[in-house]
Amino acid sequence: MPYLELKGIRKTFGNAAVLNGVDLAIREGELVTLLGPSGCGKSTLLRVIAGLTDPDEGSVFLGDRNIVALPPRQREVGMVFQSYALFPNLTVGENVEYGLKMRGAGKEERRRRRDDLLALVDLEEKRDAYPQHLSGGQQQRVALARSLAVQPKVLLLDEPLSALDAKIRKNLRMQIRDIQKRIGMTTVFVTHDQEEALTVSDRICVMNGGSIVQEGSPEEIYAKPRTEFVARFMGSYNVLSRMEAARLFGDGIGTAESYALRPESAKLLPAGDADSGKGEKAGGRIVDARIEAVSVLGNVLRYSVSAAGVPLTIDRLNDGHPLREGTSGAVRLALDPSQLLQLEKEGA
Protein backbone atom coordinates (compact mmCIF):
# COMPACT_ATOMS: atom_id res chain seq x y z
CA MET A 1 0.00 0.00 0.00
CA PRO A 2 1.37 3.43 -0.92
CA TYR A 3 2.33 5.78 1.89
CA LEU A 4 1.37 8.99 0.12
CA GLU A 5 -1.19 8.82 -2.64
CA LEU A 6 -2.61 11.53 -4.87
CA LYS A 7 -5.80 10.74 -6.76
CA GLY A 8 -7.19 12.76 -9.65
CA ILE A 9 -5.75 16.12 -8.61
CA ARG A 10 -7.14 18.94 -10.74
CA LYS A 11 -6.45 22.63 -10.43
CA THR A 12 -7.22 25.59 -12.66
CA PHE A 13 -6.15 29.18 -12.18
CA GLY A 14 -8.63 31.33 -14.08
CA ASN A 15 -8.98 29.61 -17.44
CA ALA A 16 -5.61 27.85 -17.35
CA ALA A 17 -5.61 24.23 -16.25
CA VAL A 18 -2.49 23.74 -14.16
CA LEU A 19 -3.07 20.15 -13.08
CA ASN A 20 -5.09 17.75 -15.24
CA GLY A 21 -6.09 14.93 -12.94
CA VAL A 22 -2.71 13.82 -11.58
CA ASP A 23 -2.38 10.39 -9.90
CA LEU A 24 0.75 9.56 -7.96
CA ALA A 25 1.60 6.91 -5.40
CA ILE A 26 4.73 7.04 -3.25
CA ARG A 27 6.11 4.28 -1.02
CA GLU A 28 7.45 4.87 2.45
CA GLY A 29 11.06 6.03 2.45
CA GLU A 30 11.10 6.68 -1.27
CA LEU A 31 12.49 9.81 -2.91
CA VAL A 32 10.33 10.77 -5.87
CA THR A 33 11.27 13.65 -8.14
CA LEU A 34 8.79 15.78 -10.04
CA LEU A 35 10.75 16.92 -13.06
CA GLY A 36 9.61 19.34 -15.72
CA PRO A 37 9.99 22.77 -17.29
CA SER A 38 8.64 25.83 -15.50
CA GLY A 39 4.88 26.04 -15.70
CA CYS A 40 4.36 22.27 -15.92
CA GLY A 41 2.51 22.22 -12.60
CA LYS A 42 5.15 20.47 -10.50
CA SER A 43 5.35 23.17 -7.83
CA THR A 44 1.56 23.49 -7.71
CA LEU A 45 1.32 19.73 -7.13
CA LEU A 46 3.79 20.05 -4.26
CA ARG A 47 1.79 22.89 -2.76
CA VAL A 48 -1.34 20.76 -3.00
CA ILE A 49 0.38 18.07 -0.90
CA ALA A 50 1.48 20.74 1.60
CA GLY A 51 -1.99 22.27 1.77
CA LEU A 52 -0.81 25.68 0.58
CA THR A 53 -2.95 25.37 -2.57
CA ASP A 54 -6.41 23.81 -2.54
CA PRO A 55 -7.09 21.54 -5.52
CA ASP A 56 -10.41 21.88 -7.38
CA GLU A 57 -10.79 18.10 -7.38
CA GLY A 58 -8.98 15.05 -6.08
CA SER A 59 -7.75 13.64 -2.80
CA VAL A 60 -4.46 13.34 -0.97
CA PHE A 61 -4.00 10.25 1.22
CA LEU A 62 -1.26 10.10 3.82
CA GLY A 63 -1.34 6.62 5.27
CA ASP A 64 -5.06 5.83 5.18
CA ARG A 65 -6.17 9.36 6.02
CA ASN A 66 -7.47 11.81 3.41
CA ILE A 67 -5.72 15.07 4.33
CA VAL A 68 -6.98 17.17 1.44
CA ALA A 69 -9.28 19.28 3.64
CA LEU A 70 -6.78 19.80 6.47
CA PRO A 71 -4.91 23.09 6.97
CA PRO A 72 -1.12 22.89 6.46
CA ARG A 73 -0.29 22.82 10.16
CA GLN A 74 -2.27 19.62 10.75
CA ARG A 75 -0.81 17.67 7.83
CA GLU A 76 2.52 16.62 9.36
CA VAL A 77 4.29 17.58 6.18
CA GLY A 78 7.62 19.42 6.08
CA MET A 79 8.64 21.74 3.28
CA VAL A 80 11.84 23.42 2.12
CA PHE A 81 11.52 26.39 -0.22
CA GLN A 82 13.81 27.63 -2.97
CA SER A 83 14.18 30.94 -1.11
CA TYR A 84 14.98 29.17 2.24
CA ALA A 85 12.28 31.25 4.03
CA LEU A 86 14.18 31.23 7.31
CA PHE A 87 12.87 33.56 9.99
CA PRO A 88 15.32 36.50 10.01
CA ASN A 89 14.41 37.57 13.54
CA LEU A 90 15.43 34.23 15.03
CA THR A 91 18.83 32.58 15.36
CA VAL A 92 19.66 29.36 13.56
CA GLY A 93 18.94 27.38 16.72
CA GLU A 94 15.62 29.16 17.31
CA ASN A 95 14.64 28.56 13.70
CA VAL A 96 15.17 24.83 14.14
CA GLU A 97 13.26 24.86 17.43
CA TYR A 98 10.35 26.89 16.04
CA GLY A 99 8.16 23.97 14.95
CA LEU A 100 8.71 22.09 18.22
CA LYS A 101 7.78 25.21 20.15
CA MET A 102 4.58 25.60 18.15
CA ARG A 103 3.71 22.00 18.98
CA GLY A 104 4.28 22.67 22.66
CA ALA A 105 7.38 20.54 23.15
CA GLY A 106 9.29 21.03 26.40
CA LYS A 107 12.53 22.98 26.62
CA GLU A 108 14.68 19.88 27.17
CA GLU A 109 13.26 18.05 24.16
CA ARG A 110 13.56 21.14 21.98
CA ARG A 111 17.23 21.57 22.82
CA ARG A 112 17.99 17.92 22.25
CA ARG A 113 16.24 17.84 18.85
CA ARG A 114 17.86 21.11 17.85
CA ASP A 115 21.34 19.84 18.65
CA ASP A 116 20.69 16.51 16.91
CA LEU A 117 19.49 18.19 13.74
CA LEU A 118 22.20 20.82 13.61
CA ALA A 119 24.65 17.93 13.92
CA LEU A 120 22.85 16.12 11.11
CA VAL A 121 23.30 19.06 8.73
CA ASP A 122 26.75 19.77 10.14
CA LEU A 123 26.05 23.30 11.40
CA GLU A 124 26.48 22.99 15.17
CA GLU A 125 28.85 25.93 15.37
CA LYS A 126 26.30 28.27 13.71
CA ARG A 127 23.64 27.73 16.36
CA ASP A 128 23.62 31.30 17.64
CA ALA A 129 24.18 33.04 14.30
CA TYR A 130 21.40 34.82 12.45
CA PRO A 131 20.38 33.37 9.07
CA GLN A 132 21.46 36.43 7.08
CA HIS A 133 25.07 35.85 8.17
CA LEU A 134 25.11 32.38 6.60
CA SER A 135 25.87 31.41 3.01
CA GLY A 136 23.06 30.21 0.76
CA GLY A 137 24.04 26.58 1.14
CA GLN A 138 24.19 26.86 4.92
CA GLN A 139 20.82 28.61 5.01
CA GLN A 140 19.27 25.82 2.99
CA ARG A 141 20.72 23.23 5.38
CA VAL A 142 19.16 25.13 8.29
CA ALA A 143 15.84 25.13 6.43
CA LEU A 144 16.20 21.36 5.99
CA ALA A 145 16.95 20.87 9.68
CA ARG A 146 14.03 23.10 10.62
CA SER A 147 11.53 21.10 8.61
CA LEU A 148 12.91 17.75 9.84
CA ALA A 149 12.82 18.84 13.50
CA VAL A 150 9.09 18.21 13.82
CA GLN A 151 9.48 14.69 12.36
CA PRO A 152 7.13 15.13 9.42
CA LYS A 153 5.71 12.10 7.65
CA VAL A 154 6.63 13.51 4.25
CA LEU A 155 9.31 16.01 3.28
CA LEU A 156 8.66 18.31 0.32
CA LEU A 157 11.56 20.03 -1.40
CA ASP A 158 10.59 22.82 -3.81
CA GLU A 159 13.61 23.47 -6.06
CA PRO A 160 15.80 23.60 -2.95
CA LEU A 161 19.04 23.97 -4.87
CA SER A 162 18.08 26.35 -7.64
CA ALA A 163 19.27 29.50 -5.89
CA LEU A 164 22.75 28.08 -5.23
CA ASP A 165 25.83 28.03 -7.43
CA ALA A 166 26.87 24.91 -9.29
CA LYS A 167 29.50 23.52 -6.94
CA ILE A 168 27.47 23.92 -3.75
CA ARG A 169 24.44 22.58 -5.59
CA LYS A 170 26.17 19.30 -6.42
CA ASN A 171 27.52 18.97 -2.91
CA LEU A 172 24.26 19.72 -1.18
CA ARG A 173 22.20 17.41 -3.34
CA MET A 174 24.39 14.48 -2.34
CA GLN A 175 24.08 15.58 1.29
CA ILE A 176 20.28 15.79 1.03
CA ARG A 177 20.12 12.35 -0.56
CA ASP A 178 22.41 10.96 2.12
CA ILE A 179 20.31 12.37 4.98
CA GLN A 180 17.10 11.24 3.31
CA LYS A 181 18.38 7.68 3.03
CA ARG A 182 19.77 7.64 6.53
CA ILE A 183 16.51 8.60 8.22
CA GLY A 184 14.31 6.90 5.61
CA MET A 185 12.31 10.04 4.97
CA THR A 186 9.58 9.84 2.34
CA THR A 187 10.44 12.76 0.09
CA VAL A 188 9.03 14.59 -2.91
CA PHE A 189 11.65 16.64 -4.72
CA VAL A 190 10.72 19.23 -7.33
CA THR A 191 13.29 20.34 -9.89
CA HIS A 192 13.66 21.49 -13.48
CA ASP A 193 17.21 20.13 -13.69
CA GLN A 194 17.34 16.65 -15.26
CA GLU A 195 20.86 15.96 -14.00
CA GLU A 196 19.74 16.72 -10.45
CA ALA A 197 16.74 14.44 -10.87
CA LEU A 198 18.86 11.58 -12.24
CA THR A 199 21.37 11.72 -9.39
CA VAL A 200 19.10 11.94 -6.34
CA SER A 201 15.92 10.04 -7.19
CA ASP A 202 14.54 6.57 -6.55
CA ARG A 203 11.88 7.41 -9.08
CA ILE A 204 11.31 10.28 -11.48
CA CYS A 205 7.98 11.64 -12.68
CA VAL A 206 8.42 13.79 -15.76
CA MET A 207 5.66 16.38 -15.95
CA ASN A 208 4.42 18.47 -18.83
CA GLY A 209 1.31 20.59 -19.21
CA GLY A 210 -0.16 19.59 -15.86
CA SER A 211 0.20 15.81 -16.29
CA ILE A 212 2.79 13.18 -15.51
CA VAL A 213 4.00 12.08 -18.95
CA GLN A 214 6.42 9.39 -17.82
CA GLU A 215 7.27 7.72 -14.55
CA GLY A 216 10.15 5.38 -13.79
CA SER A 217 13.57 4.84 -12.27
CA PRO A 218 16.33 7.26 -13.35
CA GLU A 219 17.78 4.50 -15.58
CA GLU A 220 14.46 3.91 -17.32
CA ILE A 221 13.69 7.55 -17.81
CA TYR A 222 17.13 8.20 -19.26
CA ALA A 223 17.42 5.09 -21.43
CA LYS A 224 13.83 4.77 -22.62
CA PRO A 225 12.10 8.11 -23.05
CA ARG A 226 8.57 7.40 -24.14
CA THR A 227 7.74 10.63 -25.95
CA GLU A 228 9.57 13.31 -27.88
CA PHE A 229 9.05 15.73 -24.98
CA VAL A 230 10.82 13.43 -22.50
CA ALA A 231 13.62 12.65 -24.98
CA ARG A 232 14.28 16.34 -25.57
CA PHE A 233 13.96 17.23 -21.89
CA MET A 234 16.33 14.51 -20.66
CA GLY A 235 19.28 16.03 -22.45
CA SER A 236 21.09 15.77 -25.72
CA TYR A 237 18.97 13.07 -27.37
CA ASN A 238 18.84 13.24 -31.16
CA VAL A 239 15.15 13.36 -32.05
CA LEU A 240 14.62 12.16 -35.64
CA SER A 241 11.59 12.29 -37.89
CA ARG A 242 10.52 9.07 -39.60
CA MET A 243 12.16 10.17 -42.85
CA GLU A 244 15.47 11.04 -41.17
CA ALA A 245 15.54 7.74 -39.29
CA ALA A 246 14.88 5.83 -42.49
CA ARG A 247 17.76 7.61 -44.24
CA LEU A 248 20.16 6.56 -41.49
CA PHE A 249 18.87 3.10 -40.63
CA GLY A 250 17.14 1.98 -43.80
CA ASP A 251 13.75 0.27 -43.76
CA GLY A 252 12.41 -1.88 -40.99
CA ILE A 253 12.56 0.71 -38.28
CA GLY A 254 9.01 0.31 -37.10
CA THR A 255 5.98 2.47 -37.47
CA ALA A 256 6.55 5.41 -35.15
CA GLU A 257 6.37 9.02 -36.32
CA SER A 258 9.50 10.07 -34.45
CA TYR A 259 12.59 8.37 -33.04
CA ALA A 260 15.25 9.08 -30.48
CA LEU A 261 18.96 8.26 -30.66
CA ARG A 262 21.28 8.71 -27.70
CA PRO A 263 24.39 10.74 -28.54
CA GLU A 264 26.74 8.08 -27.12
CA SER A 265 25.12 5.17 -28.98
CA ALA A 266 26.71 5.90 -32.38
CA LYS A 267 30.43 5.49 -33.00
CA LEU A 268 32.58 7.78 -35.08
CA LEU A 269 35.18 6.03 -37.27
CA PRO A 270 37.95 7.53 -39.41
CA ALA A 271 37.04 7.79 -43.09
CA GLY A 272 38.43 5.43 -45.73
CA ASP A 273 39.43 2.67 -43.32
CA ALA A 274 37.44 -0.19 -44.77
CA ASP A 275 38.22 -2.67 -41.98
CA SER A 276 37.27 -0.50 -39.07
CA GLY A 277 33.64 -1.43 -39.46
CA LYS A 278 34.48 -5.01 -38.58
CA GLY A 279 33.72 -6.25 -35.15
CA GLU A 280 30.56 -4.15 -34.95
CA LYS A 281 27.43 -5.96 -33.94
CA ALA A 282 25.67 -7.88 -36.68
CA GLY A 283 23.09 -5.71 -38.35
CA GLY A 284 25.13 -2.60 -37.62
CA ARG A 285 25.18 0.08 -40.27
CA ILE A 286 28.02 2.28 -41.48
CA VAL A 287 27.07 5.69 -42.84
CA ASP A 288 29.31 8.38 -44.32
CA ALA A 289 29.29 11.56 -42.27
CA ARG A 290 30.98 14.92 -42.01
CA ILE A 291 32.08 16.68 -38.81
CA GLU A 292 30.69 20.20 -38.55
CA ALA A 293 31.99 21.17 -35.12
CA VAL A 294 33.54 19.74 -31.95
CA SER A 295 33.16 21.01 -28.41
CA VAL A 296 35.00 19.75 -25.34
CA LEU A 297 32.73 18.97 -22.37
CA GLY A 298 35.55 17.68 -20.19
CA ASN A 299 35.57 13.89 -20.20
CA VAL A 300 33.36 13.87 -23.27
CA LEU A 301 33.83 15.36 -26.73
CA ARG A 302 30.62 16.46 -28.40
CA TYR A 303 30.60 16.31 -32.19
CA SER A 304 28.05 17.96 -34.41
CA VAL A 305 27.98 15.79 -37.51
CA SER A 306 25.92 15.57 -40.64
CA ALA A 307 25.21 12.00 -41.71
CA ALA A 308 23.32 11.43 -44.95
CA GLY A 309 22.09 15.00 -44.66
CA VAL A 310 20.77 14.45 -41.12
CA PRO A 311 22.27 16.64 -38.39
CA LEU A 312 23.29 14.57 -35.35
CA THR A 313 24.97 15.12 -32.01
CA ILE A 314 27.49 12.40 -31.20
CA ASP A 315 29.37 12.06 -27.90
CA ARG A 316 32.72 10.33 -27.70
CA LEU A 317 34.88 9.66 -24.68
CA ASN A 318 37.72 12.14 -24.49
CA ASP A 319 40.48 9.48 -24.50
CA GLY A 320 43.30 11.79 -25.52
CA HIS A 321 43.06 10.80 -29.17
CA PRO A 322 40.40 13.14 -30.46
CA LEU A 323 39.09 12.53 -33.93
CA ARG A 324 39.83 15.81 -35.70
CA GLU A 325 37.92 17.15 -38.61
CA GLY A 326 40.05 16.22 -41.59
CA THR A 327 40.46 18.52 -44.55
CA SER A 328 36.96 17.63 -45.61
CA GLY A 329 35.75 16.62 -42.17
CA ALA A 330 34.80 13.28 -43.62
CA VAL A 331 34.28 10.40 -41.19
CA ARG A 332 32.07 7.37 -40.97
CA LEU A 333 29.40 6.63 -38.44
CA ALA A 334 28.66 3.16 -37.03
CA LEU A 335 25.01 2.94 -36.06
CA ASP A 336 23.32 0.21 -34.03
CA PRO A 337 19.61 -0.13 -34.97
CA SER A 338 18.84 -1.68 -31.59
CA GLN A 339 19.67 1.68 -30.03
CA LEU A 340 17.05 3.53 -32.04
CA LEU A 341 14.03 4.24 -29.83
CA GLN A 342 10.52 4.62 -31.17
CA LEU A 343 8.70 7.52 -29.60
CA GLU A 344 4.99 7.71 -28.88
CA LYS A 345 2.87 10.65 -29.90
CA GLU A 346 2.52 13.40 -27.31
CA GLY A 347 -0.37 12.88 -24.97
CA ALA A 348 -0.62 9.18 -25.86
Partner 1 sequence: MTKPKAGWTHKTFMLLLMVYLLLPLAATFLYGFAKQWQTTVLPEGWTLEWVREMFRDARFLDALWTSLYLCAISVALSLAVMLPAVFVITVYLPKWETFMKGLVVLPYAVPGVVAAVGLIRAYSSGPLDLSGTAYLLIGAYFVVILPYMYQGIRNSLITVSAVELLNSAELLGASRSRAFLTVILPNIWPGVIISTLLSFSVLFGEFVLTNMLVGGHLQTIQVYLYRRVGESGHLASAIAITYFLFILLLSTALMKLGKKMNGVAGR
- Site for partner 1 (CB under 8 A): how many residues? 28
- Please, what is the minimum distance in Å from the beta carbon of residue 137 to partner 1? 18
Q: Which of 12, 59, 91, 304 touches partner 1 (CB under 8 A)?
A: 91
Which residue number, 46 or 312, has a Cβ lying nearer to partner 1?
A: 46
Q: Which of 17, 70, 85, 256 touches partner 1 (CB under 8 A)?
A: 85
Q: Does position 99 bind partner 1 by CB under 8 A?
A: yes
- Interatomic CA distance for residues 345 and 197, integer angstroms: 24
- Please, what is the minimum distance in Å from the beta carbon of residue 154 to partner 1? 11
Q: Which of 7, 29, 59, 81 touches partner 1 (CB under 8 A)?
A: 81
Which residue number, 73 or 345, has a Cβ lying nearer to partner 1?
A: 73
Which residue number, 93 or 218, has a Cβ lying nearer to partner 1?
A: 93
Of residues 26-65, those binding partner 1 (CB under 8 A):
50-52
- Interatomic CA distance for residues 284 and 15, integer angstroms: 51
Q: Can you say whether residue 200 is alpha, beta or left, with left for phi > 0 and alpha for psi between -120 and 50 degrees?
A: alpha
Which residue number, 87 or 326, has a Cβ lying nearer to partner 1?
A: 87
Q: Does position 93 bind partner 1 by CB under 8 A?
A: no
Kindly write out the interface string for residues 263-302 of this chain, putting x where it contacts partner 1 by CB under 8 A and - elsewhere: ----------------------------------------
* CB-CB contact of 302 with 263 (8 Å): yes
- Please, what is the minimum distance in Å from the beta carbon of residue 46 to partner 1? 12
Q: Does position 3 bind partner 1 by CB under 8 A?
A: no
Q: Which of 27, 37, 65, 102 touches partner 1 (CB under 8 A)?
A: 102
**Amino acid identity, residue 11?**
K
Q: Does position 90 bind partner 1 by CB under 8 A?
A: yes
Q: Which of 12, 20, 59, 83 touches partner 1 (CB under 8 A)?
A: 83
Which residue number, 77 or 310, has a Cβ lying nearer to partner 1?
A: 77
Q: Which of 56, 65, 69, 73 touches partner 1 (CB under 8 A)?
A: 73
Binding site residues, partner 1, CB under 8 A: 50-52, 71-73, 75, 77-79, 81, 83, 85-91, 98-99, 102-103, 130, 132, 146-147, 150
